[in-house]
Structure 1
Amino acid sequence: MKQTDIYIAIVEDHPIVVEGLKNMLDKEPGFVVTGTFDSSNGLMQHIADKAVDVILLDISLPETNGLELCKNIKLKWPDVAILILSNHTERSMIMQSIQNGAKGYLLKNASVQEIIEAVRAAMDGRLIYSKEVQEIIAQPSRRDLLGVTSITKREKQILKMIAEGKTSIQIAEELFLSNLTVDTHRKNMLQKFGVKNTAELIIEATRQNLL
């Protein structure tokens, strides 16, 4: 296996879905499925023992909740990209997955190409959501009553670079700013948008057509 391969683990309790996903991903050049799991049992040890870049994770699992599992994985291995693959369409679950660190949320009716593109996007540090999920996220919430958030020209510039997956250090270098200044802008935008983390910031800014 080459270093450029993307190592993928599948966490799903329906054997037919697992087999379909494994066959599909194994056929894609550069994709390597390192393991399949029907619950959290064995998964954490697998991540510790083997190189895992991306996890395709269902929410409804025996003896565990996929959203909590996502949070626990990100706490131990923040560099592992997690893509939720579920039949659940509740907006609250989608937003919770974002808060828990998932890189994306796809419904199980997603096409082969959508899933492949989502894996590659996650590896690039981008957030990815299927069209149906984007429509669910865009549904009105209490934040809609507040209207479009007002941000400065500099904040919008930094926001765009954050959405591109750039770190504070990279942004600071490109804009000739200090890291502290960039981090201050980040914190100010989190407060302005009323969100808890960068993932929610990007989602909310996109919803308001600021990106």
Structure 2
Amino acid sequence: MTERQIRLLIVDDHPIVRDGLRAVFESEPAFEVAGDAADGVEAVDRAVALGVDVVLMDLRMPRMGGVEAIRVLREKAPGIRVLVLTTFDSDSDVLPAVEAGATGYLLKDAPRDELLRAVHAAYLGQAVLAPSVAQKVLGRVRTPAVPVEQLTDRELKVLALVASGTTNREAAKQLFISEATVKTHLLHAYAKLGVRDRAAAVAEAYKRGLLG
């Protein structure tokens, strides 16, 4: 999958969940479980100290919840990707996590292979949203926002490909443009949507009804 192992930190307040996730990833040569944590405070400290690539983050935990931990990690170590793994997919859980800086949002009932792919995608900086999460974002009450016309047709096409998990290189091939042009379209879309990364752009686009 990658030339080197993806270093992973597992964060959940239930020991049995941490043990189960550790068993899943330790059986895969592409991943290295660098450690685990039982709450957000431990998560931030260990993620930084261990220099992990991806944090698999639960949301509702004692001392410090997942959303606050994501926000602190974004400030202390912006290069670390955070993939939320939780049982909750309500608007009040999903949107704050994405806005705090989560690269993706997955539910705990996800199949094993989907979980592995999601962590790898998060490592690459690709937006990962569970289908039900995307539907929650799409179905929430839409507020007045930037008109659709302010995003060009090409920007919308690139954003749609990103939402489906397509890499910049793959998007460039499909649209017959350079990878640099894809990045430019994304940067323009980020600016118009008022976001800073791929996951937030996808969530905001669903929220505004630009994707669906």
Give the TM-score normalised by the residue count of structure 2.
0.78
Q: Deviations over 1:3-31 (max 9, x none)?
A: 61000001111111111100011111211
Shift of 1:123: 1.2
Shift of 1:36: 1.0
CA distance in 2, matches of 1:129, 1:182: 18
Aligned residue identity for 1:149: V
CA distance in 2, matches of 1:117, 1:176: 23
Residues 114/103 of structure 1: CA separation in 2 closer, same or farther (3 Å cut):
same
CA distance in 1, matches of 2:161, 2:135: 24
Q: Which residue of 2 is the match for residue 97 of structure 1?
A: 97
Q: Which residue of 1 is the match for residue 56 of structure 2?
A: 56
* Alignment coverage as a number of residue pairs: 200
C-alpha contact (below 8 Å) 1:172/1:182 kept by paired residues: no
Q: Which residue of 2 is the match for residue 174 of structure 1?
A: 180
CA distance in 2, matches of 1:200, 1:31: 26
Q: Which segment drifts farther, 78-87 or 33-42?
A: 33-42
* TM-align CA RMSD: 3.3
Shift of 1:158: 6.0
Residues 183-198 of structure 1 aligned to structure 2 (within 5 Å) = 186-187=190-191, 189-190=192-193, 195-198=194-197
Q: Which segment drifts farther, 8-17 or 129-138?
A: 129-138
Shift of 1:105: 1.1
Shift of 1:62: 1.3
Gaps of 5+ in 2: none
Q: Which residue of 2 is the match for residue 82 of structure 1?
A: 82
C-alpha contact (below 8 Å) 2:59/2:86 kept by paired residues: yes
C-alpha contact (below 8 Å) 2:148/2:210 kept by paired residues: no
Q: Which residue of 2 is the match for residue 203 of structure 1?
A: 203
Residues 1-211 of structure 1 aligned to structure 2 (within 5 Å) = 4-143=4-143, 149-150=148-149, 151-156=151-156, 159=159, 174-175=180-181, 186-187=190-191, 189-190=192-193, 195-198=194-197, 199-206=199-206, 208=209, 210=211
Name the SS for the 2:7 alignment partner.
Answer: strand
C-alpha contact (below 8 Å) 2:134/2:203 kept by paired residues: no
C-alpha contact (below 8 Å) 1:81/1:102 kept by paired residues: yes
Name the SS for the 1:28 alignment partner.
Answer: coil
CA distance in 1, matches of 2:182, 2:155: 14
Shift of 1:136: 1.7
Name the SS for the 2:34 alignment partner.
Answer: strand
CA distance in 2, matches of 1:110, 1:184: 33
Give the TM-score normalised by the residue count of structure 1.
0.78
Name the SS for the 2:132 alignment partner.
Answer: helix
Name the SS for the 1:7 alignment partner.
Answer: strand
Q: Which has the larger radius of gyration?
A: 1
C-alpha contact (below 8 Å) 1:114/1:130 kept by paired residues: no
CA distance in 1, matches of 2:48, 2:145: 44
C-alpha contact (below 8 Å) 1:81/1:123 kept by paired residues: yes
C-alpha contact (below 8 Å) 2:91/2:140 kept by paired residues: no
Residues 161/175 of structure 1: CA separation in 2 closer, same or farther (3 Å cut):
farther
What percent identity do the matched residue pairs reach?
28
